[in-house]
Amino acid sequence: MADIAAHLGVSRQLVSIVLRDMPGASSETRTRVMQAAHELGYRPHIGARTLRQAKSRHIGVAFAPAHATEPDIVAAIYPAAAEHGYQVVLSAQTPTRSTLQAVDELLGYRCAAVIILGTDLTDKELRALAKRVTVPVVVVGAGNRNAAFDVVRSAGDTGIELAVRHLVELGHRQISYVHGAAMPPGALRLEGYLRAVADAGLDSDVVTTTGGDFTEEAGANAGRQLLGRSVLPTAVVTGNDQQAVGLMFILARAGVAIPGQVSVTGFDDSRLASLSSVDLTTARQDPQQMGEAAVSAAVRRIDRPALRPSLSVVEPSLIVRSSAARHA
């Protein structure tokens, strides 16, 4: 910065004013400074800036690169944060790097708030973490309203209800459900299924998989279980898209026509779902809205820390594709 000032023969603080886009400089010098900065390849030193500034202008995001839906939420967080005047700092949770480590690093950058995406920590562990941390914590994915941290999640129950109602309207009466018992959002989605089949006056049929997670593997496992029965259901609702794809693959390989013999639905509207080879009817969990809600929650509590942590529920919508069809 001193270089630019020297180069232009002006004061450092004028340069600072221009680069921060503050009032107090003529538009002529503005352009001169900007051009000189560009020519000299100047980048503001983020560390020095955060060191000097009283309040942090950074929001930290701890995410698991390997998960399916998080990339889109991360992508959505960037513009949402920018809109509130915040920069984003990323920190990865990997098999060798726990959520705690990831959050610790974010704290080292003096983030004003921390957003945690898809952690495998339990509610209790999260509460402990939030208490230890002195900045607002927003957990995205699952959870209930609590005093320790903000929660952003989709309405998993109504998403599954939408899928079941859609199948009922298509004339299905035997609708099974693949349950992700081990996943935090799983319980809520199961609730939705049970409520919806009860409302329609149908019997419930919950398939619990080994592992009980939201993987293609679990869906394949459920598929094998169903194939071992004497009679298949006419429709299967799954807890997420990955399960649905694993299930569809196993059924297709066994010669079961989809949706001819069995209709299948998913949850998330991930990239998998829109593949022409899959073309999955699914409850869309809008990553855009999730990202925006997470940033909003973070900013709200940065501005007013005394506020009670919020719960933001994003309503899913049903995306109708060809994997579910009218029952013959």
Interface contacts to DNA, rule CB under 7 A: 1-2, 10-14, 16-17, 19-20, 24-26, 28-29, 42-45, 48-49, 51-54
- With tokens 């921060």, the residue in question is 20
Is residue 51 involved in binding a copy of itself (CB under 8 A)?
yes
Is the peptide bond preceding residue 259 cis, with omega within 30 degrees of 0? yes
The residue from 3, 35, 79, 206 that contacts a copy of itself (CB under 8 A) is 79
Residue 95, binding choice from DNA, a copy of itself, none, Cβ under 5 to 8 Å by partner class = a copy of itself
Kind and range of the H or E run holding 80: helix 70-83
Pick 6 or 254: Cβ nearer DNA: 6
Nearest distance, CB of residue 19 and a copy of itself, angstroms: 12
Give CA–CA dist 18/26, Å, rounded: 9
Nearest distance, CB of residue 71 and DNA, angstroms: 30
Q: Comparing C-alpha atoms, which of 176, 130, 164 is closest to residue 150?
A: 130
Give CA–CA dist 280/247, Å, rounded: 12
The residue from 7, 49, 165, 173 that contacts a copy of itself (CB under 8 A) is 49
What type of residue is 119?
T
Pick 4 or 183: Cβ nearer DNA: 4
**Strand-strand pairing, 235-238 and 150-154:** unpaired
Work out whether the CA dihedral 246, 247, 253, 257 comes out positive or negative: negative
* Residues found in the chain: 328
Pick 152 or 280: Cβ nearer a copy of itself: 280
Is residue 255 involved in binding a copy of itself (CB under 8 A)?
yes
Pick 25 or 325: Cβ nearer DNA: 25
**Strand-strand pairing, 175-179 and 150-154:** unpaired
Residue 91, binding choice from DNA, a copy of itself, none, Cβ under 5 to 8 Å by partner class = a copy of itself
With left for phi above 0 and alpha for psi between -120 and 50, is residue 83 left, alpha or beta? alpha
Question: Which parts of this chain interact with a copy of itself (CB under 8 A)?
Answer: 41, 43-51, 63, 65-66, 70-72, 74-75, 78-79, 87-88, 90-92, 94-97, 104-105, 107-110, 132, 134, 215-217, 219-221, 223, 246, 249-250, 252-253, 255, 258, 271-272, 275-278
